[in-house]
């Protein structure tokens, strides 16, 4: 791996972190956060199934399980109908979702860009 590859990864991760913090700052309701997380779970499940490298698959599996567990915790907390606990569960969900949701935010940003930007 050369220096440019490392720089590209650092820049990519910084962009993902920035977009995630913007997402968090937008103050989405629990329903939106759950919808976004469930969409990520569905798309990442396919990525996980197609990963052949055992080390990479193991790392992906851990991230996938963390997100699934956080979504299940929110679902369980919803049964209690305690607003303070729901907010805490939502924040925990966002924290656990960061590594899988961030790349999706970058993708969404690219989809929303004006194609005319790339003509010149």
> Could you report the per-residue pLDDT of 29-44, keeping only the tens digit for each?
888 999 999 998 998 8
Task: Give the pTM.
Answer: 0.76
Distance CA 59, CA 61 (A): 5
Q: pLDDT by residue (tens digit) across 55-87?
A: 999 999 999 999 999 999 999 998 888 889 988
- Evaluate whether 101 touches 40 at the Cβ level (below 8 Å): yes
Query: What average pLDDT does the segment 13-37 reach?
Result: 89
Is residue 94 in a domain?
Answer: yes
User: H/E/C letters for each residue in 43-81?
Assistant: HHHHHHHHCCCHHHHHHHHHHHHHHHHHHHHHHHHHHHC
Which residue is associated with the tokens 């590859």?
Answer: 5
Question: Which residues constitute the domain of residue 35?
Answer: 28-98
Q: Collect all residues with Cβ–Cβ distance below 8 Å to 35 and sequence separation of at least 6.
A: none
Domain count, the chain: 1
Distance CA 33, CA 94 (A): 8
Q: pLDDT class for 104, splitting at 50, 70, 90? A: confident
Is residue 15 in a domain?
Answer: no
């Amino acid at each position: 791996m050369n220096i440019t590859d490392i720089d590209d990864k650092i820049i990519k991760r910084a962009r993902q972190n920035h977009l995630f913090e913007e997402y968090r700052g937008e103050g989405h309701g629990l329903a939106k956060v759950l919808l976004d997380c469930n969409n990520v779970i569905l798309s990442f499940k396919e990525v996980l199934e197609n990963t052949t490298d055992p080390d990479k698959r193991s790392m992906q599996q851990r991230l996938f399980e963390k997100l699934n567990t956080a979504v299940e915790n929110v679902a369980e907390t919803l049964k209690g109908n305690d607003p303070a606990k729901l907010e805490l569960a939502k924040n925990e969900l966002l924290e656990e979702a960061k590594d899988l949701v961030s790349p999706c935010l970058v993708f969404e940003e690219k989809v929303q860009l004006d194609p005319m930007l790339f003509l010149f």
